Structure 1
Amino acid sequence: MLKTPKVAAPEPSSDPDVQLMLRFRAGDENAFRELFEKHARAIVNFAYNFVGSRPRAEELAQDVFLQVYRAGPRYEPNAKFTTWLYRIATNACLNEVRRPERRYRTRPLERDTDDPGERGEIALPDPDAISGESALAGRELEARIRDVLGALPENQRAALVLSRVDGLSYRDVADALACSESAVKSLVFRATATLRRELEEFL
């Protein structure tokens, strides 16, 4: 279980989502509905990128927002709302993949960081746009990426998905994973190095 990190609390006025949570804490159900409508799709996509199953990702997202709902009466703005939300989502996904009866194949990454010096791009061909041997190679590469991602250590996979797929900053990933930014960079670096090594024959 990831530890809850101590992060600087934002001023409520600086984070509209924190304001919504404070309204919800005060009894405004519409505020929770706004938060759900704003963030539900992102949490489903995060869970899908992590566990590789759309139906289970949707169930996990419901579980995450149920936790948010139940936390409403005792909510304190000790972090950005999205940091707090992704911390809950990350814990839910990690608990899910640790269940012995669950085995998931992670989908390929779709997004990268904006820092060219820290990118580990893996250009995926589109099997539907090409034919013959090239299409077969593209499908083989995609399947191999899923296998490699699924075999990564949990924290490496979490750091990679949060930063490269969901686009969180290293600072926000660090807050969500209860570690330092340098640790996040190390996790992403090691995960990317593993991807490059395991996919060398395709690159």
Structure 2
Amino acid sequence: MATIALDQSVLRGTGTGMTVDSQLTDWSTLSDAEIMLRVRDGDDAGYTYLIEKYRRPIIHFMFRMVHNEALAEELAQEVFLRVYRSRATYRADARFTTWLYRIATNLGVNHARDTKYERAAQNIYLDQADAETGTTPDVADARPTVEHLMLQGERMQAIRQHVMALPERQRTAVLMHKYQGMDYREIGEVLKLSESATKSLLFRAYQTLRDKLKDFV
């Protein structure tokens, strides 16, 4: 996939949609849906705000799907391009994050299908979230021992491989639940499942992972 460059005038908020009112807007006082409705109506400054708010979470989400930092950033750019291109059809009948992650999920799944991307990661990255807590280690934290890093790396690689080996919907649900902190209802909205069906889907996924990873517990 060729590198995708976002429209810099949009990113800087200097496009035709930038108004005096939008410059003075305190975006944090508005919901994401309200902001996206303003973007739909031509206010590009709101789009810049949403990119700044969700860029890192979407990159992390895409990284969990493709296990390549450069590709994850590229796909995240494509996600936001699709958001912008689809702004005219946006309807606030669901959470903005539901709509955003549905776009990201579809893009990641289609990429995996189209390219048969090899998911096994070859490196341990500093910004990888811990498999149990979902938190990202700070570079300034005290350095663990070499033995700890080796054991952690082996465990994380096993978790990564078994998560990516799950059936498609189970894999996507685990990524959203464990690493993005999304609840059952939010995941169900993205996957177009009921809350009870989402709970059942995650139960089966986690049961499979427990069975596969019992040697690492």
Q: How many residues align?
A: 174
Q: How does 1:1-203 map to 2 (within 5 A)?
A: 16-105=31-120, 109-111=131-133, 129-132=144-147, 135-203=149-217
Give yes or no for contact 2:184–2:199 (8 Å, CA) kept in 1: yes
Gap change, CA 1:145 and 1:60, over 3 Å in 2 = same
AA aligned to 1:147 is Q
Q: Secondary structure at the match of 1:99?
A: helix
Structure 1 residue 138 displacement after superposition: 3.2
Give TM-score, length-normalised by structure 1. 0.78
Q: CA–CA distance in 2 between the matches of 1:52 and 1:26? A: 36
Q: Secondary structure at the match of 2:207?
A: helix
Give yes or no for contact 2:66–2:117 (8 Å, CA) kept in 1: no
Partner of 1:122: none
Q: Which runs of 4+ in 1 moved over 6 A?
A: none
Q: Secondary structure at the match of 1:168?
A: coil
Task: List alignment gaps of at least 5 residues for structure 2.
Answer: 1-28, 122-127, 135-142
C-alpha RMSD of the superposition: 2.1
Give yes or no for contact 2:36–2:87 (8 Å, CA) kept in 1: yes
Q: CA–CA distance in 2 between the matches of 1:57 and 1:145? A: 19
Give TM-score, length-normalised by structure 2. 0.73
Q: CA–CA distance in 2 between the matches of 1:46 and 1:139? A: 20
AA aligned to 1:51 is V
Q: CA–CA distance in 2 between the matches of 1:146 and 1:189? A: 18
Higher relative CO (Cα under 8 Å, sequence separation at least 6) belongs to 1
Partner of 1:116: none
Give yes or no for contact 1:25–1:72 (8 Å, CA) kept in 2: yes
Instruction: State the percentage of identical aligned residues.
Output: 41
Task: List alignment gaps of at least 5 residues for structure 1.
Answer: 1-13, 113-127
Q: CA–CA distance in 2 between the matches of 1:65 and 1:135? A: 35
Q: CA–CA distance in 1 between the matches of 2:51 and 2:149? A: 39
